[in-house]
Structure 1
Amino acid sequence: MACRISELVLDCADPERLAVFWCEVLGYVEVGREDDGSIEIGPPGVGFGGPQPTLILSPGEHPRAGKLPLHLDVNATDRDQDAELERLLALGARPADVGQSGTEDWHVLADPEGNEFCLLRTRLRPV
């Protein structure tokens, strides 16, 4: 038997703002709130325990220093990479420079709090 990822937890200054952003990016909905201000988002109609992990935006008071040791990769499901890049930028993502050469077939972006993520080229089927 093996484990699988059920939740990803991201410390952030403004969980509400990032929940709105990541819900739009991933097509997720809010599935729960905790008294500490954490907001859990996940696939509509499924939430925790489904085939995709939920994302918990947890309030944190300590600003991060430097590049995160883990980042998310996302793939478009219903449009090509260029169209998805335009959509993500319109939602508030911004280009990020992590030392890429410019010849990569992915785009490095940052969410509204500066957390890097990559938009990959391959279009995936929706889950």
Structure 2
Amino acid sequence: MACRISELVLDCRDPEALARFWCEVLDFVVLDREDDGSVEIGPREGFGGPQPTIILGRSDEPKRGKSRLHIDVNATDRDQDAELERLLKLGARPADVGQTGQEPWHVLADPEGNEFCLLKTRIAAL
């Protein structure tokens, strides 16, 4: 028997704002809100499907340095350049984590500075 990833937890200062951003990026919906201000987002089918949900937990701690774990995303219905343009309009911004500029992916940061990568390969939507 093995485990699989069911949830990713991301600390942030404004869970509601980050939930809006990531819901737009991933075509997710808000699944739950907790009394502590945390927000769970995920696919429309809810928890337990093939994609993990993301829990955005409130934290007043500032982000320090490069994240040790980041999310990689792939476009599903457009090429990488068009998806990059869409993500930048949603509030992502280019991030420098020491890449050479020759990589086939783009390193971006969400509105709170959490790095993520837009990969080149287009994949089918679930």
User: TM-score range, shorter-chain basis?
Assistant: over 0.9
Q: % of aligned pairs identical? A: 75
Distance in 1 (alpha carbons) for counterparts of 2:73 and 2:5? 16
Aligned to 2:28: 28
Per the alignment, residue 119 of structure 2 pairs with 120
Shift of 1:109: 0.2
Q: CA deviation at 1:97?
A: 0.6
- Cα distance in 2, alignment partners of residues 48 and 58 from structure 1: 17
Q: How does 1:48-63 map to 2 (within 5 A)?
A: 48-63=47-62
The TM-score, its normalising length taken from structure 2, stands at: 0.99
Alpha-carbon distance, 1:18 to partner: 0.2
**In the TM superposition, what is the alpha-carbon distance from 1:126 to its structure 2 partner?**
0.6
Alignment partners' CA distance in 1, 2:27 and 2:64: 29
- The alignment partner of 1:22 has SS state of helix
Query: Aligned partners of 1:101, 1:30: CA distance in 2, in Å?
Result: 36
Number of residue-to-residue matches in the alignment: 126
Unaligned runs of 5+ in 2: none
Supply the distance in 2 between the matched residues of 1:79 and 1:103 (Cα, whole angstroms). Answer: 21
User: Could you state the TM-score of these two structures normalised by the residue count of structure 1?
Assistant: 0.98
In the TM superposition, 1:1-127 aligns within 5 A as 1-44=1-44, 46-127=45-126
Where does structure 1 differ by over 2 angstroms across 4 or more consecutive aligned residues?
none
Give the SS at the match of 1:64.
coil
Q: Deviations over 1:67-120 (max 9, x none)?
A: 111000000000000000000000000000111111110000000000000000
String of CA shifts for 1:33-59, please: whole Å, max 9, x gaps: 001000000001x11111100000000
> What RMSD in Å do the two structures reach over aligned CA positions?
0.5
Q: Report if aligned partners of 2:71, 2:116 keep a CA contact under 8 Å in 1.
A: yes
- Structure 1 residues not aligned, in runs of 5+: none
